[in-house]
Amino acid sequence: MIETIQKFAPLLWENTLVTLGMVGASTLFAYLLGLPMGVLLRVTDRGGIMENHAFNSAFGWVVNILRSLPFIILMISISPFTRLLVGKAIGPVAACVPLVIGAAPFVARLVETSLAEIDTGMIEAAKCMGATNWQIISKVMVRESVPSLIRGLSISTITILGYSAMAGAIGGGGLGDVAIRYGQHRFEPKVMLLTIILLVIIVCVIQIVFDRLSTRLDKRNR
Amino acid sequence: MIEISHLTKKFNDKSGEVTALHDVNLSIGRGDVFGIIGMSGAGKSTLLRCLSTLETPTSGTVTLDGVNLHTLSGNDLIQMRRRMGVVFQGYNLLMQRTVRQNVAFPLSLAGGDPAETARRTSELLELVGLSAKADSYPSQLSGGQKQRVAIARALSTSPEVLLCDEPTSALDSLTTKSVLELLRDINRKLNVTIVIITHEIAVVKAICNKVAVIDASEFVEWGDTQEIFAAPKSRMTRQLLGYEVMNDD
C-alpha cells in the first residue's frame, strides 16, 4: 500500500487540485445563475412580493426539466455548446460548463427553500418601512437567510463534487478520471481505494467547514 | 388626520366570500391615542392592515391629511409609508442584525446620511431605554425588550402616526404596563398619533383617549374612552367590560 501511495502520490495530488478547482469554479458559477433563479422562483410564488402565477409555473417547469436530466446525458448532449463556449469539449475546464448547467437549477431550488423560511411578517414590516422590492430581496430575504444559504451551499458543493467525478468518466479530469483510468481500466484497486478515501475526506471537510460557518454566522443561536 | 370612510374589505377563500370589514367609518384626530378593540376575528387586524397599506380595501377610502392611501404607488407610496410607523404583535425584528442595525434599518432604506442615522438611532435607543443593548441581537432580548426595539424602529423615520397591532398581546402584565407607558410618553413627548388594535380592555383603559368597539366587521360604538366606558350602549362593549356574560352561540 505504501508503495502504491509513493508511486501515485503526485498523480493523486495533482488531480485532487484539479477536482477542487473544477468544483470551486463550477459552484461559484452555479450560484451566479442559481441564486437569481431561486429568488425569482420565491418572489413570484403564491404570497411572494412579486406574485405571478403564470411566470412561476412556467419557470418552475423549466427548472424541473433541467433537474430531471441525468447528468451524464446532459454532459454529452450539450458538448457542442461546451465547445462553442470554451473551445473544447474534453478536460476540466470544459467539464465546468455542464457542471454549472446541471447544478444551477438544483441550486435554484435550494435557494428558494432557504428564502421561503423567512417569516412573512418580517417582509411586511420592511414594506411598511418603505422598502422597495429590491431592498426587500437583498436586505431582508437574502440577508436574513445567510445561515440557511450556507447550509445549502454545502449540499450543492458536495453534489457538484459527485457530478465532477462522473465528468471524469468522459475525460473531465480530476479524481473521477483517476478512478476510472487507473482503478477501473488498469485494474489497480489500491488506487481506486485511495481516490475514494480522498473524496470522502473532501466531502467531510466541506460539510464541517460550512456547518461551522453557518452556526457561527447565525445570530439566532445566542 | 386619518379619515376612514365607507371602508369595506372582502376576502375570497375556499368557503366563498368573507366580509372582514363592512362599511366602516372613523375619524382619528392628530395627537389621539386611539384604541380599536374587539374580539378575535372581528376585523380589527384587517382594519390596521388597510391603514398600513398592506391591504387594499374592496371599497371605500382611507385618507391621511386628505391623501387617499390606496391610490398611491411607487415613490409616493414609499414616502407615505415613512410617515407611518407600524408595530406588530410578533415584533418582526431582523434576527441577523443587532438592535442598533434594526433601529437604523428604515433610515438606511431611505438612504440617509450615516452620521445622522447613527445619531438618531442612539437617541431612539435612549428613548426606549435600551442603549445598553445596542449591540445585542434580538434573540438575546426578552419579549418586552424586543417590542421596545420594534417601537424605536417604527419611530426612526419620525412618523406622524404609529400603528400598533396587538403590541402587548404576547407580553406579561408587568411588561405590558411598561410598554404602554412608553407609548404614552411617545404620544406626549413627540406628539405622535397612536392607533392601537387590541382585544384587551385594560390596554384601552390605560392609555387611549378615544376608543372604537368593533364587532362582526362593523363599529358598534366609538368616542371618548371615559364616556363610552362609563355608559356603554352596545352589548359588545358591555361584554368586553365584563358587565354582561358572553354567549358562545
Sort out which chain A residues have CB atoms less than 8 A from B84's CB and list them.
128
Residue B101 in contact with partner chain A when CB distance is under 8 A: no
> To which H or E segment does residue B222 belong?
strand B218-224
- The tens digit of pLDDT for each residue in B12-27 reads 888 888 889 999 999 9
Q: Which CATH number fits domain A2-217: 2.60.40.1120, 1.10.3720.10, 3.40.50.300, 3.10.20.880?
A: 1.10.3720.10
Cα diameter, chain A: 69
CB neighbours of residue B105 within 10 Å:
24
Domain boundaries B2-83+160-241, corresponding CATH code: 3.40.50.300
Cα diameter, chain B: 59
Sort out which chain A residues have CB atoms less than 8 A from B92's CB and list them.
119, 121-122, 124-125
- Does the beta-carbon distance from A222 to B92 stay under 8 Å? no
- The tens digit of pLDDT for each residue in B178-224 reads 999 999 999 999 999 999 999 999 999 999 999 999 998 889 999 99
- Does the beta-carbon distance from A122 to B92 stay under 8 Å? yes
- Can you name the residues that pair with B198 across neighbouring β-strands? B37
Check whether B154 has a pLDDT greater than 70: yes
Residues of chain A short of pLDDT 50, as ranges, are none
Tell me what ipTM this predicted complex has: 0.91
> Quick one: pLDDT at residue A217?
95
Check whether B249 has a pLDDT greater than 60: no
- Does the beta-carbon distance from A130 to B96 stay under 8 Å? no
Q: Return d(Cα B110, Cα B57) in angstroms, integer.
A: 27
Residue B92 in contact with partner chain A when CB distance is under 8 A: yes
The four Cα atoms B89, B13, B68, A126 give a dihedral, to 10 degrees, of: 40
Average pLDDT of chain B to the nearest whole number: 93
The full set of domain ranges for chain A reads: 2-217
- Does the beta-carbon distance from A130 to B110 stay under 8 Å? yes
- Mean pLDDT within B51-59: 94
Check whether B248 has a pLDDT greater than 70: no
> Quick one: pLDDT at residue B41?
82
> Quick one: pLDDT at residue B247?
62
> Model-level pTM?
0.91
Answer for the pair A77, A4: CB distance below 8 angstroms, yes or no.
no
- Does the beta-carbon distance from B96 to A146 stay under 8 Å? yes
- Can you name the residues that pair with B18 across neighbouring β-strands? B11
Q: Which is higher by pLDDT, A62 or B234?
A: A62
Q: Which residue of A has its CA nearest to B96?
A: A219
Q: Which residue of B has its CA nearest to A119?
A: B92
Split at pLDDT 50, 70, 90, the class of B65 is very high
Split at pLDDT 50, 70, 90, the class of B244 is confident
Answer for the pair B156, B121: CB distance below 8 angstroms, yes or no.
yes
User: How far B93 CA lies from chain A's nearest CA (Å)?
Assistant: 7
> To which H or E segment does residue B202 belong?
helix B201-207
Of B53, B84, B86, the CB nearest to A125: B86
Sort out which chain A residues have CB atoms less than 8 A from B97's CB and list them.
143, 219
Q: Return d(Cα B70, Cα A207) in angstroms, integer.
A: 49
